Homo-oligomer: A and B are copies of this chain.
Amino acid sequence: MNNSHVPENHSRSQPRILIVGTGAVGGFYGGKLAQSGARVAALCRSDYEVVKSKGIQVKSVYGDFHFTPKKVVRNVSEYGSPPDYILVALKVLPEIDTARIIKDAVGHDTAIVLLQNGIEIEDPVAQAFPENEIISGLAFICATRTSFGHIEHIDFGRVVIGLFPEGPSARVEKLANLFNKAGVPCDVTEDAVTARWRKLVWNAPFNPISVLGGCVDTKKMVENPESLKLARQVMEEVCKIAEAAGHPLPDDIEQENIDGTSKMAPYKTSMLVDFESGRPMEVEAILGNTIRVARRHGISVPRMESLYALLKLIEKQNR
C-alpha cells in the first residue's frame, strides 16, 4: 500500500497525532512517534517561531535526531480535521486549562493522551470530554528543553500508558506499538491510576527537595544522608495514601526508586529546571493534589505538607 495515496484521516497505518506542548517530553516523544511513521503535528506557544522554522533538535542518549512536525500551529483550530490522538505534554498548572486549549481539535474519535505528572490530573479533561477515550500516560525520562527547539535527553525514556481510569483499549495498544517501533520502551497498563501513584513515589520527594535543598541534582540528594532519609519518608507517605486510595504499591518500591536514582546520571528535576528558569512549578499536581487525597482518606502526611508549604512560599519569591 502506498500511503501517499491514502487520505490522511482515513489511514490506519499512519495515525495523525497532535502534540500539545513541545517541552522536553512533548518534543522528544513527538519526534519518536514521527519516526514510527505517525503524522505528527505540534502546538507550540513561546517556541512557535523556532519550531516552525527549524523543527526540534534532540540530543539523545539513544542517538541524536531531528523532529520536523508535519505542521506547527499556535492554536488547535489551525490544525484541521480532528487527529486520532492529541498528546498533551503541557505542565500541569492551575493556570493552564488543558480542556480549553485542546477543545477545538477534539473529534468523536480523538483519544486524548495526558503524558503528564501528578495525581488526579485527568479529571478536568475527562469531565470536559466524557465521550472521548482518555489515555493516562507517564514518561520516565530525564530530558530537558535547553532552549527553544533544543532538547537534551540524558537518561531513561520508558513510557507507561493506559486507559483512564482503567481497563484495556485498542487505541492504547496502537499507540504503544508506535512507541515500541521507535525504540521507546512502552508498557501498557490496565490500571493507569496505580501507575500514576507509582511514579509519584519518585516525584513527590525528589522534585521538591531538589528545589528546597539549594538547587541540587539527584546525585546530591541521594548522597546526603539527611535528604535521602527525608526522600524515603516522603515515599512512605505516598505509599500510605496510595493504599488508602485503593492503589496499594509494592513493598520494595521505595528501595527500588532510591537504588535507581543512585545509579542514574546526575539529573536536575523538572521542578528545579522550572524554578531556575523562573517558571511556575508543578506544586499542585505533584504535592497539592496528593495532600488533598490524603486528607480525604484521613492520612497524615506532615513531611509532604512541609515541603508543600515551603514550595508555596519559595514560588511566591520566584515569580
Contacts and interface: CB of A to CB of B under 8 A. Distances in A.
A309 B214 contact: no
Interface in A278-319: 302-303, 305-310, 312-318
A185 interface: no
A192 interface: no
A229 interface: yes
Contacts of A229: 309
Contact of A209 (B220, B310, B315): B310
A36 interface: no
A216 B306 contact: no
A226 B317 contact: no
A312 B233 contact: no
A308 B220 CA distance: 16
| Chain A, interface residues (CB within 8 Å), range | 20 to 34
B233 A313 contact: no
Contacts of A308: 226
A77 B316 CA distance: 50
A213 B305 CA distance: 14
Contacts of A302: 233, 302-303, 306
Given A213-B317, A216-B317, A317-B216, A226 B312 contact: yes
Contact of A312 (B215, B227, B313, B318): B227
A230 interface: yes
A313 B224 CA distance: 7
Contacts of A214: 313-318
A212 interface: yes
Contacts of A312: 224, 226-227
Nearest to A225: B312
Contacts of A303: 302-303, 305-306
A314 B233 CA distance: 18
A308 to B, nearest CB: 7
A139 interface: no
A224 to B, nearest CB: 5
Interface of A: 209, 212-216, 220-221, 224, 226-227, 229-230, 233, 302-303, 305-310, 312-318
